[in-house]
């Protein structure tokens, strides 16, 4: 494991690597998740691009594809909703 990262071990998803720094309130030093982390959280939540788009209030899946493709960073509010849906808790408090 890269010493730069402190990852969570997630029961039921041993391959899911999510840095703890992505699960903080924004004002406490939140770090933008990688595309892999976005994909992992969507998988944990059982979301497709379409259902993730609907959850965060997007009208199409293009933006989600950009998040998981690394073309655009996911906004904090959208990430927080995905994390909550995935059972990682309410990260904004």
The full 3-state SS of 10-48, as one line of letters, equals CCCCCCCCEEHHHHCCHHHCCCCCCHHHHHHHHHHHCCC
Identify whether 35 is part of a domain.
yes
Within-domain flag for 49: yes
* Tokens at 1, concatenated: 């494991």
Do the domain assignments include residue 51? yes
Determine, yes or no, domain membership for 57: yes
What confidence score (pLDDT) does residue 16 get? Answer: 72
Measured CA to CA, the distance from residue 46 to residue 11 in angstroms comes to 15
Residue 45 pLDDT: 94
pTM of model > 0.95: no
User: Which pLDDT does position 86 carry in this prediction?
Assistant: 94
pLDDT for 80: 98
pLDDT (0 to 100) of residue 17: 82
Q: What is the CATH number of the domain that holds 62?
A: 1.10.260.40
Domain extent for 58: 7-85
Residue 73 lies in a domain: yes
Q: Walk along the chain (93 residues) in steps of 10 and give the mean pLDDT of each run.
A: 50 73 95 96 95 97 97 98 95 93
Domain total of the chain: 1
Number of residues that make up the chain = 93
């Amino acid at each position: 494991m890269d010493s730069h990262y402190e990852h969570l071990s997630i029961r039921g998803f041993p391959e899911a690597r999510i840095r703890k720094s992505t699960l903080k309130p924004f004002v406490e030093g939140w770090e933008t998740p990688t595309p892999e982390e976005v994909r992992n959280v969507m998988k944990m939540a059982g979301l497709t691009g379409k259902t993730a788009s609907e959850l965060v209030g997007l009208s199409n899946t293009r933006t989600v594809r950009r998040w998981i493709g690394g073309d655009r960073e996911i906004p904090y509010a959208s990430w927080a909703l995905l994390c909550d849906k995935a059972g990682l808790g309410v990260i904004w408090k």
